[in-house]
Structure 1
């Protein structure tokens, strides 16, 4: 059992990365000067005592990586709240939506159920929101677009349905977006063109349909794009070739058709390209010879034909295509067993 008795002036408490077990003592709320509590990476279990919110000066609370199963502290002045990797259950409490100063909320990897509250847009100070790997259902509320200070948004690995709201395009400070491993449908909003700060977008393993928006080409800071395992149709827009920071482009296992645009060969930072399991046709663009940083290229399970240009990739997969001719294949710094045809 942890005890904090006899420390009336305590304002900073850090006991992380120990082997502490037992429960958080209910008298923790008696230490009125506490500003910072970090009890992460221990074996604490049971409920989070409500008395913790008697700490009116508390601005940072980290209880992550424990075995806590009940309680959801919503202390008025909190700026950072980490409850990730516990065993918390139940819905997100409405009282959470009153924390006007909250900048970081991480409740990922729990057993939280219910839906994302419509009032989530009230938390306008949020910069980091991670609710991934829970059992959250319903749709993403339109009010998410009110979180204009948000830099990281992770809703992956839940049971989210419905479409991506157009209002998400308002998140112009967003750098990281992960909506993967859900059940979302509908198109990718063209308003994504407004995500001018975004570096990483992952929406893989959903049921998205519609086309790849040409407006994605306006995301000049985008370095990672994963839209694999959806139901996207149409062609690959040549505008993607304007994303000059792109290092990973993954759109495998969709319903894409048409030719591979030569503009993809202009992505000089590209090191991973996976267009497999679509219905792409035509030849591999000769501009792919200019992809000198390319390490992984997967074009398998399409309807490509023609000669293969000089390729500098380390691992190449071209199998299950039509009449691929290897006459001009030259793989730089690799072994023959890394080539799959």
Structure 2
């Protein structure tokens, strides 16, 4: 839902009625993750997607019904080979889709924050007592100030419990389901009188820090933007670190890499990617000494195997432990036989994605396990 903040802005400002369908649960080989959403305006216009096409027609009909009735509904879609005309996921798996009419103040607050790229989480009741179904509490973290909108109108302890859980999920940039008693106590399995709440979080784009203004950096920058990163290119050499050479970067900085990294360290998180492409010891060693101790999501360094061995020796000499050194991806990227800058960028981000999801990096035709997996 929150990814549609910008698309729904015109409808919201014009007061145009709309219905919103959100994926709140997935299992098996589902094509879209929780939080994926589709919205239908009163004029029949559609934005977004919940399944990549498999069940969009059925979800569209549910949205039209919600627009007319105002009644929210939770619908499960799965694969069925018993009936060739059954509405299901042709790729297998199961998705749970929650549909409700827009206009709720808490939903509008969440979408407005998402449009402004402010960290926000919406906690919506998707199963439980009919009088609570569709109720939303929104938590916004704007420059360190936490604010909430909405109430469930039941036991105040339920609001307090959900707000606490939602803040924790927002801090981690994660979404998920909560199952609670109406008094806010957790419960392992939901009974009809219990409440199931889908918490959807949205945080600003993850950071990609590219150190070394070389041709490979331009390709890595373009790939990073394609994948949704906020990209910074940094190099100490002013002649190379220019906006003209890196038009796709969000910012181009002239500074010593380790000094720049230290200046932004408190803005980084576990999703941050640090790509060290200089393969020059005077830049690499002090930069990697800091990067490997920040707890970011990925640190990769370019260079030959000989360069890697020399670099590792120097890092050991300045005090990095073997445990800290295991976080270094060097030589950077997966073994794809990459030669061009674009192929190298593909190799780097293949390793980034595989590391984030815990995947093997093997061809799908030989690897076991689910094709789509959560981070």
User: TM range, normalised to the smaller chain?
Assistant: under 0.3
**TM-score normalised by the chain length of structure 2:** 0.25
Structure having greater relative contact order (Cα 8 Å, sep ≥ 6): 2
Q: 1 or 2, which has the higher helix percentage?
A: 2
